[in-house]
Amino acid sequence: MYRYDQYDQAMVDARVEEFRDQARRRLEGKLTEDQFKPLRLMNGLYLQLHAYMLRVAIPYGTLDARQLEMLADIADKYDRGYGHFTTRQNIQYNWIKLDDCADALADLATVEMHAIQTSGNCIRNISSDHFAGAAADEVVDPRPYAELMRQWSSFHPEFTYLPRKFKIAVIASEKDRAAMRLHDIGVRIVQRDGAIGAEFYAGGGMGRTPMIAPLIRDFVPIDQFITYAEACLRVYNRYGRRDNKYKARIKILVHELGAAEYIRQVEEEFAHMLSVGVEPPREELERIKAFFAPPPFVSSEVETQSLSTMLEANGGQGSAFGQWVRRNTHAHKAPGYVSAVISLKPAGGIPGDATSEQMRVVARLAREYSFDELRVMHTQNLLLPHVAIADLPAVWQALDAAGLGAANMDTIEDIIACPGLDYCSLANARSIPLAQRISERFAETGRTEVVGELKLKISGCINACGHHHAGHIGILGVDKKGTENYQLSLGGSEAEDVSLAKITGPGFDEDGVIAAVEKVTDVYLASRAEGERFLDTYRRIGMEPFKEALYG
């Protein structure tokens, strides 16, 4: 895992002091709220419906036990004993007091953490594949490249007052587990003729005008990686729209110019930037890579165990443990290991919430069973990336005892939901209670298992924080004459088969939309061919049969 040196630490410490000073000037009346707002936003401090929210960055979703324990302590000390993990691999606290904020940031700095650039019109925390460094299918570990970008984008002097927020994701396999093409810039690290380079996509995003990012370059040599990113950002900073907040994201620029023209401008700027020399020295990437060296896996055949042998010895496939192993573990590049998903989606629970006690349990498990490493997933779950198969029974028992044993990864219970009307001042409708009712319903009727992979995503308004455009089933809260109403859409995906969901038709009230979700799963179960997921069936048979069932 990456470790700060004295420079990284000094940068974060300086930022805490800077924020303390800004808060002081705000209190002394030297800064107006308008002037203070972008400064507090750049330190992750949002004003919500009831209180301030603090968003803490978890760069590319990787953290260690000590850091998670600090997140638990902060939840106890400054919040109400819990935190909320987000779709961009961050954690949010919903009940922070302005007076406490600088102290919370100082506590975070002691474990190499911060809230820098987690909001505001700047380059946000870089996200990545949650299985990075563990996945059997990756070309390389994408995190060193994400770390290089983290350093480049932190306190960037030219790109701190962009037209709008800017989100970057970096992955390194064909499979996309980071919604890469729904980011302002998506990067896929690739190998060509033995050389490492980067594919760049630009102009993706959700919000009110969802767009899938087009490919803008199929290979940027790795020793020009930062230079190319700088060129992309400069063109956006100069020409992105600033007249209308809803048209200010890079997706609108790329769309209005056309990808070809945006590419032309970037290439021109890139050629110029190469002559300026902004690329960090080559040795820096090598230095960073050393931090991400694989942990010392046990590799001899005697000591590693196969999944099937282990399962047989522990109650078999059908046991609760067996189901969890089947659902929540993922193939690892080292023999005898898997990655184990810790679901923060208990049936009837609040998606992505974890109590401080749960965080401490997970931290202990990471220390004991996963080389002191943890991940936050974009699906709002946690992950132990490197678990020896032989240790799975012990891990599961501890998780189950802490209420973290749900075997529902990528099922309809694994819902992504935004905070919605329970917290958010922009919301039209509640998201969390709806997610709770749907997961409860499907768990009770036993449908979850029958239906299999089905990604359901809920946003409380058109801003799409809950990724509803990218859900196999998406639900959007709309305001209908002052009452909460929900629009249903089908066929989205944020993965490598990326697509945007289409609206089924008129909306529903809360009970109605739950019934509607059940009806569309009925259609799927009646029509599915062997091996088809909900999404595959939808793509094969189209919208009509679903409409017929809903409105016919």
Partner 1 sequence: MGNARDLGTSPDEVQFRFRDDEPVDHAAVTVDSCCDQTNATAVRIEPGDDARVLLPFLDRLALVEVNFPVFGDGRGYSAARILREAGYTGELRAVGDVLIDQLSHMRRCGFDSFAPDKRLDEEDAMRAFATWENVYQRAADARRTIADKRHEA
Q: Which of 152, 337, 486, 538 binds partner 1 (CB under 8 A)?
A: 152
In the complex, the smallest distance separating the C-beta of residue 237 from ligand SF4, rounded to whole angstroms, is 25
Q: Does 427 bind ligand SF4 (CB under 6 A)?
A: yes
* Radius of gyration for the chain, computed over Cα atoms and rounded to the nearest angstrom: 23
By the 8 A CB rule, do 213 and 202 touch? yes
In the complex, the smallest distance separating the C-beta of residue 224 from partner 1, rounded to whole angstroms, is 14
Distance CA 441, CA 437 (A): 6
By the 8 A CB rule, do 9 and 112 touch? yes
Judged by CB, which is closer to partner 1: 65, or 162? 162
Write the interaction track for ligand HEM spanning residues 321-360; mark x where CB under 6 A is met and - where it is not. Answer: ----------------------------------------
Q: Does 90 bind ligand SF4 (CB under 6 A)?
A: no
Q: Does 396 bind ligand HEM (CB under 6 A)?
A: no
* Token pair 């998606």 in the structure block, residue: 351
Residues 166-195 binding partner 1 (CB under 8 A) are none
Q: Which of 210, 466, 471, 491 binds ligand SF4 (CB under 6 A)?
A: 466
In the complex, the smallest distance separating the C-beta of residue 86 from ligand SF4, rounded to whole angstroms, is 10
User: Is 282 strand, coil or helix?
Assistant: helix
349 interface partner picked from ligand SF4, ligand HEM, partner 1, none, CB below 5 to 8 A per type: none
Judged by CB, which is closer to partner 1: 286, or 522? 286
Within its chain, how far is the Cα of 54 from the centroid?
17
Distance CA 61, CA 170 (A): 11
Residues 2-31 binding partner 1 (CB under 8 A) are 5, 7-8, 10-11, 14, 18, 21-22, 25, 30
Distance CA 202, CA 256 (A): 13
Query: DSSP secondary structure string, 371-405?
Result: TT-EEE-TTS-EEEEEEEGGGHHHHHHHHHHTT--
Distance CA 485, CA 509 (A): 5
By the 8 A CB rule, do 424 and 84 touch? no
Q: Does 418 bind ligand SF4 (CB under 6 A)?
A: yes
Q: Does 48 bind ligand HEM (CB under 6 A)?
A: yes
Amino acid at 247: K
Q: Which of 215, 426, 478, 495 binds ligand HEM (CB under 6 A)?
A: 426
Judged by CB, which is closer to ligand SF4: 163, or 466? 466
Residue closest to ligand HEM (Cβ):
207
Q: Does 162 bind partner 1 (CB under 8 A)?
A: yes
121 interface partner picked from partner 1, ligand HEM, ligand SF4, none, CB below 5 to 8 A per type: partner 1
Give the list of residues 6+ apart from residue 17 with CB closer than 8 angstroms, or none.
none
Beta sheet of 382-388, edge-to-edge order: 62-63, 374-376, 382-388, 337-342, 329-331
Determine phi and psi for 420, rounding to 5 degrees: 60, -160
Distance CA 58, CA 71 (A): 11
Amino acid at 99: D
86 interface partner picked from partner 1, ligand SF4, ligand HEM, none, CB below 5 to 8 A per type: ligand HEM
* Token pair 């994408």 in the structure block, residue: 142
Q: 10 Å Cβ neighbour count for 273? A: 20
Residues 398-457 binding partner 1 (CB under 8 A) are none
In the chain, helix, strand, coil percent, each to 5? Answer: 40, 20, 40
Distance CA 107, CA 111 (A): 7
Distance CA 332, CA 319 (A): 23
Residues 212-251 binding partner 1 (CB under 8 A) are 234, 237-238, 242
In the complex, the smallest distance separating the C-beta of residue 468 from ligand SF4, rounded to whole angstroms, is 8
Piece of 61-69, 149-157, 271-279, 413-421 that binds ligand SF4 (CB under 6 A): 413-421
Q: Which of 61, 142, 203, 419 binds ligand HEM (CB under 6 A)?
A: 419
Q: Does 292 bind partner 1 (CB under 8 A)?
A: no
206 interface partner picked from partner 1, ligand SF4, ligand HEM, none, CB below 5 to 8 A per type: ligand HEM
In the complex, the smallest distance separating the C-beta of residue 505 from ligand SF4, rounded to whole angstroms, is 21
Q: 10 Å Cβ neighbour count for 444? A: 11
Q: Does 552 bind partner 1 (CB under 8 A)?
A: no
Q: Which of 22, 62, 92, 328 binds ligand HEM (CB under 6 A)?
A: 92
* Token pair 């009307």 in the structure block, residue: 421
460 interface partner picked from ligand HEM, partner 1, ligand SF4, none, CB below 5 to 8 A per type: ligand SF4
Give the E-state strand segments of 120-206 in sequence order.
127-128, 168-171, 185-192, 195-202
Give the list of residues 6+ apart from residue 512 with CB closer than 8 angstroms, or none.
486
By the 8 A CB rule, do 262 and 184 touch? no
Q: Does 423 bind ligand HEM (CB under 6 A)?
A: yes
Residues 112-131 binding partner 1 (CB under 8 A) are 121
Q: Which of 45, 388, 409, 465 binds ligand SF4 (CB under 6 A)?
A: 465
In the complex, the smallest distance separating the C-beta of residue 244 from partner 1, rounded to whole angstroms, is 13
User: Is 297 strand, coil or helix?
Assistant: coil
Distance CA 439, CA 142 (A): 33
Q: Which of 2, 19, 36, 46 binds ligand HEM (CB under 6 A)?
A: 46
Q: Which of 1, 38, 357, 437 binds partner 1 (CB under 8 A)?
A: 38
Distances (CA, A) of 437 to 207, 408, 409, 507, 525: 25, 16, 18, 18, 21
CA-based end-to-end distance of the chain: 55
- Residues in touch with ligand HEM (CB under 6 A): 46, 48, 86-88, 92, 164, 182, 205-207, 249, 418-419, 423-424, 426, 463-465
- Residues in touch with partner 1 (CB under 8 A): 5, 7-8, 10-11, 14, 18, 21-22, 25, 30, 35, 38-39, 121, 151-152, 154-162, 234, 237-238, 242, 272, 276-278, 280-281, 283-284, 287
